[in-house]
Structure 1
């Protein structure tokens, strides 16, 4: 019998989609959020129970009391929500999954391995397209190989935009930056050189790539948690993580000026509120597929390169999150702190609809 799965932020886009996917698999997750009317309507639609939690502190208290089997956290910014929820999960003996994919989240979750292991809890971070996809390619390329010398990942998402507002969590993730994260500034990218985290310009070290279906894209460095995942999977002392969504041209040139203004707390909070209320129109995804790419080099000159093809990147995120949660609920995980492919192998992506290309 699988253990219960709680979805935090269940009425948001990702949470709602994950709940629907679990329901299709015959699993009734417990829906957790702050809007009672929306929770009740979704719970009636899916035949699920729901828990009203008025903010992060209330979620923490309810997890400690109810001790669910698995907690799927879809509530950003994950730099704010991850650690308090992990504290609660470790105390309650609950497995934890999140979608975090920046250098302020992934290393912080992985650093809690020693706390999770003795109590039999699995902590899994980066369980979305941004995180699990490129990591899966690296794990596959490095299977049976010695530690690598260099690794670079590139994510090429293709996303259909739904009409609506951006929302506070997304806006805060964009504008809060990475305060206190070592190796660079609050609004900088990161790379790993000689085994140390170092600063890099957002959008720097651009490379042109051609996807297996013939699309030409340009990818530049971003402060992605995939950097930590790729370095951990490959053992490489030189690592980079890039995205086709990295800003280019005049927009990239504005980053140093924007950083000066965003350091002022009241201004930053006002801009977050304004951005959160911004409405976006429906936009079809620009390509049929989303892609994740990795290139791994070894000291003896060997090079391996590979791609992972998925559909809409948002849908892929939901599939990774749901599949990871189900496997943990079924007792298939291992205690400790992990990224998804490190725990379940590159086959996880195939279970989520992915296909590899060499």
Structure 2
């Protein structure tokens, strides 16, 4: 690992190593908190409701803390003894901005597990501000986007003059309540991609296909965090992401634009999110243990050259618990690059290979 020399300039405060996990009462937050204790890490657990925080923290022997994100003074006080915030409270459209602002003010490093394109872009715009404060902004340290971002960086390394990048992901239908609410917020935005370096939202989600290792499977283009992060990591101007066409994905992408616009209205958003609260909290232990995800990336250049690589990982939520905790530990230990970063920019294209159960192959090496 490469430790930034600016840590010394930024003072000892950023070196004491205390990690605060905000959103620890949610499905993914509890997974990360449990993983932390198993690895001998003692984070502060936090959320909005002290009773819920205490119910998670006490059985793990951890300290709990409750605060809302609405008041700057309260946030500043809550972060006074913290080196790293790992925000796992979504939707991040509501939580990322106030928490990141507080981290910048208080010179605390900020990490989250967002997959929201607008959040990534907003964080990138704060790069200079974060650098002035010697603060690292590292959103997307979960399944979205650690494996896909590292895959994109690997493909760029294989084909330095790549102009087009296509990522295909197969991961199944199971999701947590937080992920479902994030998807609901994204309904009205349409399916986004990057063309000529700019984010665009075509009227229709393109169908395609991908060989995940057992022959061609149908896919649909979706809005995924790499439309933002892979551009910042690689500079490739044309980027799109496809999911394997499971029933849930197909139902979402084939929804008429008028219906999506209606579902984007405030009262419909509230209704749909209330329905989500009746869903199971997230995949069970067996599903996390036995599940797998496959990512395939193809990069092309303007000369007709192309490279293809395939990445196999553990189930998405299991991997998120591992990558988010590891990233927070690395940053708490001083592995820091101030400013906006992506996982591959922070830790390298091969970072994902450091996790158990992850393999990568270059299909056309």
Pairwise TM-score range, normalised by the shorter structure: 0.7 to 0.9
CA distance in 2, matches of 1:298, 1:88: 41
CA distance in 1, matches of 2:185, 2:291: 32
Number of the residue aligned with 1:155: 169
CA distance in 2, matches of 1:57, 1:198: 32
- 1:87 is paired with a residue of what secondary structure? helix
Number of the residue aligned with 1:210: 211
Residue 336 of structure 2 is aligned to residue 333 of structure 1: yes
Number of the residue aligned with 2:4: none
CA distance in 1, matches of 2:39, 2:76: 24
**Displacement of 1:282 after TM fit?**
6.4
TM-score by length of 2: 0.85
Distance 1:63 1:49, change over 3 A: farther
Distance 1:142 1:254, change over 3 A: closer
Distance 1:258 1:275, change over 3 A: farther
Contact 2:145–2:225 (Cα < 8 Å) also in 1 = yes
Residue 316 of structure 2 is aligned to residue 313 of structure 1: yes
Residue 37 of structure 2 is aligned to residue 23 of structure 1: yes
Number of the residue aligned with 1:299: 302
CA distance in 1, matches of 2:149, 2:351: 11
Segment of structure 1 superposing worse, 1-10 or 136-145: 136-145
**Displacement of 1:302 after TM fit?**
2.5
- 2:118 is paired with a residue of what secondary structure? coil
Distance 1:252 1:148, change over 3 A: closer
Q: Pairwise CA RMSD of aligned residues?
A: 2.7
- 1:84 is paired with a residue of what secondary structure? helix
- 2:144 is paired with a residue of what secondary structure? helix
Segment of structure 1 superposing worse, 266-275 or 281-290: 281-290
Distance 1:25 1:245, change over 3 A: farther
Contact 2:220–2:250 (Cα < 8 Å) also in 1 = no
TM-score by length of 1: 0.86
Residue 183 of structure 2 is aligned to residue 174 of structure 1: yes
**Displacement of 1:38 after TM fit?**
3.5
CA distance in 2, matches of 1:239, 1:281: 30
The structure 2 residue matched to 1:62, chosen from 55, 59, 75, is 75
**Displacement of 1:11 after TM fit?**
1.7
Contact 1:206–1:221 (Cα < 8 Å) also in 2 = yes
Number of the residue aligned with 1:237: 237
CA distance in 1, matches of 2:152, 2:255: 33
Number of the residue aligned with 2:87: 73
Number of the residue aligned with 1:83: 97
- 2:145 is paired with a residue of what secondary structure? helix
The structure 2 residue matched to 1:190, chosen from 189, 192, 204, is 192
- 1:177 is paired with a residue of what secondary structure? helix
**Displacement of 1:316 after TM fit?**
0.7
Residue 126 of structure 2 is aligned to residue 112 of structure 1: yes
Residue 48 of structure 2 is aligned to residue 34 of structure 1: yes
Q: Which runs of 5+ in 1 are unaligned?
A: 179-185
**Displacement of 1:94 after TM fit?**
0.6
Number of the residue aligned with 1:221: 221
CA distance in 2, matches of 1:61, 1:264: 32
**Displacement of 1:221 after TM fit?**
1.4
Number of the residue aligned with 1:183: none
CA distance in 2, matches of 1:143, 1:251: 34
Number of aligned residues: 343
Number of the residue aligned with 1:356: 360
**Displacement of 1:65 after TM fit?**
4.7
